[in-house]
Amino acid sequence: MHLKGYLHLDIKPQNILVDEHLNLKIADFVSTWLFHQDNDQVSDVKGTSYFLAPEAISDPANKIYRVSYFSGRAYDVWTIGMSLYVMVFNRLPYTPESK
């Protein structure tokens, strides 16, 4: 997908389908962005909160921490890792109350 210039930006277990040959398919391309050349920088994602990458989370009270742009490809890799963790262990690697 990234080789074709697309960022999914909402990968989660609910968007991963398995066919009869156990091949994985990614679904739900509503949040997908097209990037040009190597510029995969995004400033906002509408993904599921439990799967957001740390760089996509901003704290309005802490202006220093706020990040304007981040790599969409790295974001997709984070969400794939989170999805795999949930599919293997059937739980999130942290609680919603974690900092």
Question: Would you tell me how many other CB atoms lie within 10 Å of the CB of residue 51?
Answer: 23
Contact (CB, 8 A) for 72 and 40: yes
* In 1-99, alpha helices (H): 72-89
Catalytic site residue from 10, 40, 44, 59 = 10
Residue corresponding to tokens 């091949």: 23
Q: Is 38 a catalytic residue?
A: no
Structure tokens at 17: 């389908």
Q: Which residues are catalytic?
A: 10
